[in-house]
């Protein structure tokens, strides 16, 4: 601080003045943040234990919502599908993003143009993306199956019209959309690795692969950690893409947790039960993030 206080009263006054200044800076944003984010999260843990319906009549029902969830086959389907999406979306996006970032980090022409292209799906609205991909995936006349037939696949998949292939279709679009975003994070990470490390490795006679394993991968540790955390949450909360592409179908083949919350809450007005399912989603995302932070911390020490 500029004026180092020598006496205690002045010190206390400084702390007081800083507290007022600090809060007045933070307050405009904090009021909105508290009312619209912190408060709802707190309320969530109350509503989930009630039978809150559209009339706003809340009756405390204890763990009834959770007991019902335990026996709810649709809930388990939604959870299973969410895990299915996550299990493929994370590694695929991670690999594609890292691959693209490594490619762009080389001195090739057109790299700047490509960076723009790769980021473009991320800034495009999900509605437009879902419509276009549904046309591309059209089983009979769509270009994707035309391409597959051209390379000799006689019986190409039905994509969003088939309960087996609808999830892969959604995963492909999800990866296509987000890889450019994570690529940017990896690129930023790659640029923090000092070039001397590569030069040193090269003079030691390390091959390209060895340089990748011993310089690039350790250098990207922090970025990879951050990307994985973001990707995990993003995968578990997947919603709008699926709602627009398949609506959860055919049947329940792409029903995910977020959509199930939406159905129960906003379509069937069972706010209490929907909140109980929300708590599961909350617990998964929060729990996994905490575990990831702990693992990362252990790795650091």
- Report 257-276 residues binding another protein (CB under 8 A): 257-258, 261-262, 265-266, 271, 274-275
Stretch that binds another protein, among 87-95, 173-181, 197-205, 212-220 (CB under 8 A): 173-181
| Residue 108 dihedral angles phi and psi, to the nearest 5° | -110, 155
Binding residue count for another protein, defined by CB under 8 A: 104
By beta-carbon proximity to another protein, the closer residue of 135 and 210 is 135
Per-residue contact track with another protein, 84 to 103, x per CB under 8 A? ----------------x--x
Can you tell me which residue has the tokens 């939406």? 262
Reported for 122-129, long-range contacts at CB under 8 A and 24+ positions apart, including other chains, are 122/177, 122/178, 122/180, 122/181, 124/177, 126/177, 126/240, 126/241, 126/244, 127/244, 129/173, 129/177, 129/241
Q: Which of residues 179-218 bind another protein (CB under 8 A)?
A: 180-181, 184-185, 187-189, 192
Beta carbon of residue 197, minimum distance to another protein (angstroms, whole number): 18
Rule CB under 8 A: choose which of 74, 193, 239, 249 binds another protein: 239
Q: CB 238: neighbour CB atoms within 10 A?
A: 22
119 forms part of the interface with another protein (CB under 8 A):
yes
CB nearer another protein, residue 166 or residue 275: 275
Segment interacting with another protein, rule: CB under 8 A, options 73-81, 84-92, 107-115, 161-169? 107-115
237 binds another protein (CB under 8 A): yes
Residues 6+ apart with CB under 8 A from 254: 81, 166, 167, 170, 242, 245, 246, 248
Site for another protein in 42-81 (CB under 8 A): 43-44, 47, 52, 56
Applying CB under 8 A, does 226 fall inside the site for another protein? yes
Nearest-angstrom CA–CA distance, 51 and 179: 41
CB 251, min distance to another protein, A: 20
90: Cβ–Cβ under 8 A, 6 or more apart, which residues? Answer: 228, 231, 232, 235
**Residues in CB range of 247: below 8 A, 6 or more apart:** none
């Amino acid at each position: 601080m500029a004026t180092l206080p020598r006496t205690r009263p002045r010190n206390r006054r400084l702390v007081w003045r800083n507290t007022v200044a600090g809060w007045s800076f933070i307050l405009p944003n904090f009021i909105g943040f508290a009312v619209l984010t912190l408060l709802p999260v707190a309320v969530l843990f109350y509503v989930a234990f009630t039978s809150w319906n559209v009339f706003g009549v809340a009756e405390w029902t204890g763990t009834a919502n959770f007991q019902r969830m335990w026996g709810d086959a649709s809930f388990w389907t939604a959870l299973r599908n969410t895990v299915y999406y996550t299990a493929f979306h994370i590694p695929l996006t991670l690999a594609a993003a890292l691959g693209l970032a490594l490619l762009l980090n080389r001195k090739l022409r057109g790299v700047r143009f490509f960076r723009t292209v790769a980021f473009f799906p991320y800034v495009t609205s999900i509605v437009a993306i879902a419509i276009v991909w549904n046309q591309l995936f059209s089983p009979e006349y769509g270009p994707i199956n035309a391409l597959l037939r051209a390379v000799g696949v006689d019986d190409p998949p039905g994509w969003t019209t088939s309960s087996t292939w609808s999830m892969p279709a959604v995963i492909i679009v999800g990866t296509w959309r987000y890889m450019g975003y994570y690529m940017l994070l990896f690129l930023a990470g790659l640029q923090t690795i000092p070039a001397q490390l590569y030069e040193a490795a090269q003079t030691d006679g390390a091959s390209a692969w060895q340089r990748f394993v011993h310089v690039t991968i350790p250098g990207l540790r922090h970025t990879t950690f951050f990307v994985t955390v973001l990707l995990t949450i993003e995968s578990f909360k997947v919603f709008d893409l699926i709602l627009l592409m398949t609506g959860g179908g055919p049947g329940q083949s792409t029903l995910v947790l977020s959509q199930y919350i939406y159905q129960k809450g906003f379509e069937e007005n069972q706010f209490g039960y929907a909140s109980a399912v929300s708590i599961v989603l909350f617990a998964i995302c929060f729990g996994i993030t905490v575990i990831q932070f702990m693992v990362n911390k252990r790795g650091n020490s």
